[in-house]
Structure 1
Amino acid sequence: MSISSMSALHDESIASWKTNAAYWDNGIGQDGNKYWKRLQKPALERMIPFQQGADMRVLELATGNGLVARWFAAKGASVLATDISTEMLDISARRELPEHKGKISYLQLDVTDPEELDVLAAENAGGFDVVMMNMAIMDISTIEPLAAALPKLLKKNGIFVGTLLHPVFFNSGTRRSIQIVDGGPDGYPEIIRARTIEKYLDIPPYHGVALYGQPAQQVYYHRPLHELFSTFFKTGLVMDAMEEPAFTAEDAVPESIGATPNFTQLPPILAFRMRRVF
């Protein structure tokens, strides 16, 4: 894809979040949806080493409505919450609770712009303990500038934690299939759920929705695992944790046979942790 085409898609991505900001906020809410409560938050709690009384400095990228920033602040961290969308930042500030005052600050930031990242690193020369990007890597047109900036943004032994839609099971063209087999083990019909994956290595940017009914489609950027991880490895970061959180039977949605939480063997998201060791 040409540079001009990628630039146009990047501009479209920014415009879509401006349009979708209020709808997204309504869908996620103050305390998060099922994906946050059952998949993302448990994984982050295992990956991020909170210590009682420790002064943790956090840089959050693509904060959205501030859900993760508020979660960090509630644990005592000092958070710089950033987003390319001023609409999202305004919503985040309005969502802030009284007990979070002084713990969260806000900054408009384009994580695809090397110059903006360099300025941010220079203004925070001491570095951050944690750089966090929750469920946004697949929304970013290029991750190379971020990967290059992380060694400058992180303290030594600091961590970058990312979560995203699982590149294997959630990409353009993946099809869900459901078979109902009569005479299952308990005498009732057995429901077999699967996903058919035709393409994985080479999938161009595509349009989709995160929340059904949102006003504008957004652009998704697919990266196979080797491409995703090697981008960070090339800058000297080391991956020391990875999880593939999945829903369980208690998350099932009986009234919607094709709902993602019913596919308990196919993880919807991928979570990973990279560390600056030098």
Structure 2
Amino acid sequence: MSASQSTQHEESVTSWSKNADYWDNGIGQDGNKYWKRLQQPSLERMVPFKPGKETRALEIATGNGLVARWLASKGASVLATDVSPEMLELAARREMPEHKGKISYRQLDATSPVALSKLAAEDATVGRFDVIIMNMAIMDVSTIEPLAAALPTLLQKGGVFVATLLHPVFFTCGAQRSIRLVDYGPDGYPEIIRAKTIEKYLDVPPYHGVALYGQPAQQFYFHRPLHELFSAFFKAGLAMDAMEEPAFTAEDATPERLEASSNYTQLPALLSFRMRRVV
């Protein structure tokens, strides 16, 4: 990790610790619209659960434990990790009685080769993971190369890494939303046209932003064009066997907020993909 990446990483960790309570209140026990309408349905299709066999799952950047609880509800045994102790404490508080014994928690810096190697060495004594999930966090970390390189040592053969993130083309590149009113649409009435303008994509430096409006501290966003995003995993020898671009539908519309992302039904909000260890 370069000096600049190290500084950005430290600031990012600090911001998430400051935002932990606000994030927990915003996401809640059962998740927000992004979870219910986009993330969960995509994960349902991407994550393989074998009937009659317990799935060993590792979650990177668990936040308040939303995905860990979902995995446990599917019968998985989950190691939920996060770089923020504050987030892990909130995740443990959110655990339901029916999840007892199914979820364990551990602080883990997924940008640290040393921390990942230590986890892999410990994991080898009990069997590798069937599934590793990183839900809506890749754009929040300063480097993904250490995690990608560690996946073959953490996953059993045939195991999968599943990730969701804000779409690099339509979000993290800094795409600008626009709204245009056409006086006479196809039915003769005014029609609202929503679009996005992309001025930069290949080279977008890290920038500050917010995940939830009103949060105490801004966080870093780390944009990666698709070839940079996927190449880290291909270099590690993984093969991508699934990809989706979840988008909101008309029933998700927020009429009172014309600018809301949920109104842009022709442009995907997220990118989901699955990488598999094949050798």
- The normalised TM-score by structure 1 is 0.98
What residue identity is the alignment partner of 2:83? Answer: I
Partner residue in 1 for 2:147: 146
What residue identity is the alignment partner of 2:141? Answer: I
Identity %: 74
1:172: Cα distance to partner?
4.6
Partner residue in 2 for 1:164: 165
Partner residue in 1 for 2:131: 130
Partner residue in 2 for 1:223: 224
Mapped partners of 1:264, 1:174: distance in 2: 15
Partner residue in 2 for 1:5: 4
Mapped partners of 2:111, 2:257: distance in 1: 38
CA deviation profile, 1:12-71 (whole Å, cap 9, x unmatched):
000000100000000000000000000000000001122332110000000000000000
1:184: Cα distance to partner?
1.4
Partner residue in 2 for 1:96: 95
Mapped partners of 1:143, 1:199: distance in 2: 21
Mapped partners of 1:79, 1:26: distance in 2: 23
Find the residue that maps to 1:169 and give its secondary structure. helix
Tell me if structure 2 keeps the 8 A contact 1:172–1:206: no
Mapped partners of 2:50, 2:122: distance in 1: 26
Find the residue that maps to 2:172 and give its secondary structure. coil
What residue identity is the alignment partner of 2:172? Answer: N
For structure 2, the 5+ residue unaligned runs are: none
Tell me if structure 2 keeps the 8 A contact 1:82–1:107: yes
Partner residue in 2 for 1:207: 208
Partner residue in 2 for 1:182: 183
* RMSD, aligned α-carbons: 0.9
Tell me if structure 1 keeps the 8 A contact 2:57–2:132: yes
Find the residue that maps to 2:242 and give its secondary structure. strand
Mapped partners of 1:223, 1:70: distance in 2: 29
Find the residue that maps to 2:67 and give its secondary structure. helix
Tell me if structure 1 keeps the 8 A contact 2:172–2:222: no
What residue identity is the alignment partner of 2:61? Answer: A
Mapped partners of 1:33, 1:270: distance in 2: 17
1:221: Cα distance to partner?
0.5
Mapped partners of 1:248, 1:152: distance in 2: 39
Find the residue that maps to 2:21 and give its secondary structure. helix
Q: Summarize the alignment of residues 1-278 of structure 1 with structure 2, pairs less than 5 Å apart.
A: 3-125=2-124, 126-278=127-279
Q: Is 243-252 or 47-56 further displaced after alignment?
A: 47-56
Mapped partners of 1:183, 1:112: distance in 2: 52
Mapped partners of 2:202, 2:37: distance in 1: 29
1:237: Cα distance to partner?
0.1
Tell me if structure 2 keeps the 8 A contact 1:160–1:274: yes
